[in-house]
Structure 1
Amino acid sequence: MFVSRLLDFQKTRYARFMNHRVPSNCRYQPTEYEHAANCATHAFWILPSILGSSILYILSDDQWETISAWIYGFGLSSLFIVSTIFHTISWKKRHLRTVEHCLHMFDRMVIYFFIAASYAPWLNLRELGPWASHMRWIIWIMASVGTVYVFFFHERSFGGRDAGAGMREQGRAAMTCFFHMVAPNGKQKAPGVSPKPQTPDSELAAPRPG
């Protein structure tokens, strides 16, 4: 009881920064402070995400690394760009109900694809087991299913589950491949890339002919 009172944000002097919790079938209405924070925190990371993606592309050594850099960079940059646009419209142009509704759906959809894109470097650049290798395409099917779910059940629950539950399940399913990433010899390698031949220690120690 004491802990619940202690964590009750509405009974503190900072209550103006957050509205009361709404029922599950209603949409939460952020305060002006929350709108400003949402716009600032998402817009701040647009440029770093683009620069970081460019660095990953420049440092790529082969085709798989280049593809993974493009996928991850596009997913990360799209996440912050779309979210910034949505929160800006929701804050300053909230009278545009149709535009705000579409952007809110797009914001949810891009999160699914960002989750899939964030696993692309791991799934493309590591030797996977026979079962975990299928996650390379299963993760994108899950993102597509989440997109369809948002399109038909946006801001509604289906079977007691919302979009957030789908995102958590998508991330949890992809994490199962973590335990199958190590090859039988204990080394990790990119698919299709042959390991470099190892030089025996005896040859390294042998003196060169004069």
Structure 2
Amino acid sequence: MKLVRFMNNRAPSNKRYQPTEYEHAANCATHALWIIPSIVGGILLYLLSDDHWEEISAWLYGAGLSSLFIISTVFHTVSWKKSHLRSVEHCFHKCDRMVIYFFIAASYTPWLTLRDLGPWAAHMRWVVWVMASGGTAYVFFFHERFKVVELICYIAMGVFPALVILSMADRSGLCELLVGGGCYVLGMAFFKSDGIVPFAHAIWHLFVAMGAGIHYYAIWKYLYTPVNQPTSTAR
């Protein structure tokens, strides 16, 4: 029996799912809770930085992490109270999709910048940002037109740069990276389950928060904690 109070009917493929009041509240809360911790976490990494490259990596990563939670929360709040804000809602929906590309690139940046890479692999430091720019442009011009293509773009953006990380000589933190990535992959099952599983999108948010938290821990422990920092690193 469908839980009418907590879940609406599944939307047609050409329309967006309309959450219930409870689902709207859960969608807002599950990312709003992480805004302050993400800002504090980014500042902490910046304060732990010992050189210019660590500062840049901390700034980009902190900006990507906090932007993900801030924009997601704003979008879901506007979507919840959208009676006279349809154009604003559409704008923030685009931003919510665009920031995912920025967040993925920002999450890879500390690893690609602060770890020694081979000559070919080093190019991935800027390739991830080219990919993020391409994904952002795709959302701007084709937002919600080809949902499967958009999903494939996110998966490619998340997986392709990881091939470089697997080739690093120093593989400390790899376990945490795989576990965090697994959280995102498992969460995607709920990302496409609105109207099938109650609070599916909020559950997806929780998986995102878990994945981001595990990845943050790995960055803090293996790239910014002094005892784990290498004596010399080629940038």
What is the TM-score normalised by the length of structure 1?
A: 0.78
Spell out the pairing of 1:1-210 with structure 2 (5 A cutoff): 11-12=1-2, 14-157=3-146, 161-182=148-169, 190-192=233-235
Is the Cα contact below 8 Å between 1:53 and 1:70 reproduced in 2? yes
Give the C-alpha shift of residue 74 in structure 1: 0.5
Give the C-alpha shift of residue 28 in structure 1: 1.3
User: Alignment partner of 1:17: what SS?
Assistant: coil
Is the Cα contact below 8 Å between 1:124 and 1:190 reproduced in 2? no
Give the C-alpha shift of residue 15 in structure 1: 4.5
Give the C-alpha shift of residue 177 in structure 1: 0.7
Is the Cα contact below 8 Å between 1:109 and 1:150 reproduced in 2? yes
Select the structure with the greater relative contact order (CA < 8 A; seq sep ≥ 6): 2
User: C-alpha separation between the residues in 2 aligned to 1:94 and 1:74?
Assistant: 31
What is the TM-score normalised by the length of structure 2?
A: 0.70
Is the Cα contact below 8 Å between 1:94 and 1:100 reproduced in 2? no
Identical aligned pairs, as a percentage?
Answer: 64
Ranges in structure 1 where 5+ consecutive residues have no aligned partner: 1-10, 193-210
User: Alignment partner of 1:129: what SS?
Assistant: coil
Is the Cα contact below 8 Å between 2:112 and 2:165 reproduced in 1? no
Is the Cα contact below 8 Å between 1:72 and 1:118 reproduced in 2? yes
User: C-alpha separation between the residues in 2 aligned to 1:129 and 1:15?
Assistant: 55
Give the C-alpha shift of residue 167 in structure 1: 0.9
User: C-alpha separation between the residues in 1 aligned to 2:38 and 2:18?
Assistant: 28
The AA in structure 2 aligned to 1:162 is V
Structure 1 segments of 4 or more deviating over 6 A? none
- Which has the larger displacement, 110-119 or 59-68? 59-68
Give the C-alpha shift of residue 93 in structure 1: 2.4
The AA in structure 2 aligned to 1:62 is D
User: C-alpha separation between the residues in 2 aligned to 1:104 and 1:94?
Assistant: 15
Is the Cα contact below 8 Å between 1:129 and 1:182 reproduced in 2? no
Structure (1 or 2) with the larger CA radius of gyration: 1
Is the Cα contact below 8 Å between 2:34 and 2:69 reproduced in 1? yes
Ranges in structure 2 where 5+ consecutive residues have no aligned partner: 171-229
Structure with more helix by fraction:
2
Is the Cα contact below 8 Å between 1:124 and 1:191 reproduced in 2? no
- Which has the larger displacement, 120-129 or 160-169? 160-169
- Which has the larger displacement, 59-68 or 115-124? 59-68
Is the Cα contact below 8 Å between 2:114 and 2:233 reproduced in 1? yes
Give the C-alpha shift of residue 27 in structure 1: 1.1
Q: Deviations over 1:20-74 (max 9, x none)?
A: 2223221111111111011111111010001111111111111111111000000
User: C-alpha separation between the residues in 2 aligned to 1:175 and 1:163?
Assistant: 19
User: How many corresponding residue pairs?
Assistant: 176
The AA in structure 1 aligned to 2:43 is S
